Amino acid sequence: MSEEAMATEEIMDGVYRALCEHGYAELTMQDIADECGKSKSLLHYHYDTKEDLLVAFLDGILADYEGRLACRADRPPAERLVEFVARFVFTPEEDDRESFHLALLEMRSQGPFNERIQDQLDRSDELLRDSVADILDAGIADGSFEPVDVDRTAALLVATLDGARTRQITLGDAQPAASYTRVVAEEALETIVDPLLVEGVDRPTLAEALER
Amino acid sequence: MSEEAMATEEIMDGVYRALCEHGYAELTMQDIADECGKSKSLLHYHYDTKEDLLVAFLDGILADYEGRLACRADRPPAERLVEFVARFVFTPEEDDRESFHLALLEMRSQGPFNERIQDQLDRSDELLRDSVADILDAGIADGSFEPVDVDRTAALLVATLDGARTRQITLGDAQPAASYTRVVAEEALETIVDPLLVEGVDRPTLAEALER
């Protein structure tokens, strides 16, 4: 990895930790500088404003995600779909992940007031829906899924999993038994995914997908 | 209505409009006073802090909602379930409703840092899930629904509709055709609700429920 790329990675890790620690609304360039052990002036050398840095950060997350999806494109569609669902599950013990998603939620509630942040959020939504639609198309093409309206099914699944995550990170004691993301992922597999599978096609269980 | 109750209603309308206008994070008692045409000192006479006022506001919304649910308890379960789903649908043209839910989302992202606000949000989640569970229980009891795990199905449906709403209010151009809440409500009816209905049981369409 080049020195430049290493520095970028350290800065992005710093943004992640600073978001976990301070949330989005109150986040300063100094917080990020502290978390990545660099000077504020170095950050400003690379990124004019905090907004520039956050847009680059969101961009990096999305590029990572696109890369990971591309790696898995040759696996059976049913397996890929269960893994997509499993990726939304997390236990309340995963503190950092919860704090990070809470900061993202804050960012989303501010999104409509900031065009560049909103563009990244829109891209993220499209990427998620397109990923599901691609998996569904692949499954219909290879005969493992029943034909469905892939765009509408993708919108349903993404909304369901996102809703479960939002509820899990924002609620205290009111969670369903187990956790929101776990309960909803199980139910989504049984109610939304299973009816898609052509008879005789198996899928991994949620537990199996979570162990990978 | 007593003078006291009228004053309370005016204040609560002011909170609603102030949230639509200013969002949650930056909201001041002065903003609320301006929106309801009362003095800040009068507000402080009734509510010590902004937090007290917001907790009372959330409490009022939930009490209203409980009252509305109670009124409908004698109608056919399939009809009540479709109406529950329809209540989450809104067009992007409903600006106020969108602004209000954006302010609520902001409040939710801050919720975990404020116990009293979080308690109200937890109550709201339980109320939503309990409403669905009650409708499902009633439908299973009168033979119009197939037997299912009502708590898990309720968690799935609430997460799905909440997720669609969050995506609709936070996304710009990336919406699915129609709107997120509309597409997901249609799909949720077909994928989650229809398989619950015993053969021969009809339900209103989404369009019918929206017209009521």
- Give residue A167's pLDDT: 93
Highest mean pLDDT range out of A41-55, A86-100, B91-105?
A41-55
Residues of B in contact with A23 (CB under 8 A): 109
> Are A119 and A205 contained in the same domain?
yes
At A3, which CATH number? 1.10.10.60
> Are A152 and A186 contained in the same domain?
yes
- Give residue B206's pLDDT: 96
Mean pLDDT of B185-201: 97
**Distance in angstroms (rounded) separating the CA atoms of residues B86 and B182:** 8
Answer whether A166 sits within 8 Å of B163, measured CB to CB.
yes
- Please choose, from the candidates B104, B88, B101, B48, the residue with its C-alpha nearest in 3D space to the C-alpha of residue B186: B88
> Are A99 and A150 contained in the same domain?
yes
> Are A2 and A45 contained in the same domain?
yes
- Please choose, from the candidates A37, A10, A35, A8, the residue with its C-alpha nearest in 3D space to the C-alpha of residue A20: A35
Nearest chain B residue to A124, by CA = B174
Is residue A67 domain-resident?
A: no
Nearest chain B residue to A112, by CA = B170
> Are A51 and A129 contained in the same domain?
no
How does residue B68 score in pLDDT terms, banded at 50, 70 and 90? confident
What are the φ and ψ backbone dihedral angles of B210, each rounded to 5 degrees?
-70, -25
Q: Which residues contact B57 (CB under 8 A, 6 or more apart)?
A: B12, B15, B16
> Are A36 and A89 contained in the same domain?
no
Answer whether A188 sits within 8 Å of B156, measured CB to CB.
yes
Q: For residue A206, which amino acid is it?
A: L
Residues of B in contact with A195 (CB under 8 A): 191, 195
Is residue B88 domain-resident?
A: yes
At A151-183, the pLDDT tens digits run: 999 999 999 999 999 999 998 877 887 789 999
> Are A137 and A187 contained in the same domain?
yes
At residue A64, the 3 state secondary structure works out as helix
> Are A76 and A181 contained in the same domain?
yes
Q: Which two tokens stand for residue A82?
A: 């269960």
Distance from CA of A116 to the nearest CA of B (A): 11
> Are A96 and A193 contained in the same domain?
yes
Mean pLDDT of A92-120: 87
In this model, does residue B134 exceed pLDDT 80?
A: yes
User: Whole-angstrom distance between the N-terminal and C-terminal Cα of chain A?
Assistant: 27
> Are A202 and A132 contained in the same domain?
yes
> Are A91 and A187 contained in the same domain?
yes
Contact between B123 and B62 under an 8 Å Cβ cutoff? The reply is yes
ipTM of the complex: 0.91
Is residue B40 domain-resident?
A: no
Mean pLDDT score across all residues of chain B = 91
How distant is the alpha carbon of residue A150 from its chain centre?
A: 20
Residues of B in contact with A196 (CB under 8 A): none
Range of the domain at A99: 72-211
Is residue A120 domain-resident?
A: yes
Is residue A65 domain-resident?
A: no
- Give residue B93's pLDDT: 79
- Give residue B197's pLDDT: 98
At B30-52, the pLDDT tens digits run: 999 999 999 999 999 999 999 99
Residue with tokens 């009228």: B6
Is residue B105 domain-resident?
A: yes
Residues shown for chain B: 212
At B85, which CATH number? 1.10.357.10
What single-letter DSSP state applies at residue A176?
P
> Are A30 and A99 contained in the same domain?
no
Residues of A in contact with B20 (CB under 8 A): none
Domain count, chain A: 2
Residue with tokens 């479960």: A164
Is residue B25 domain-resident?
A: no
Residue with tokens 């961009």: A59
Mean pLDDT of A55-61: 92
Is residue A64 domain-resident?
A: no
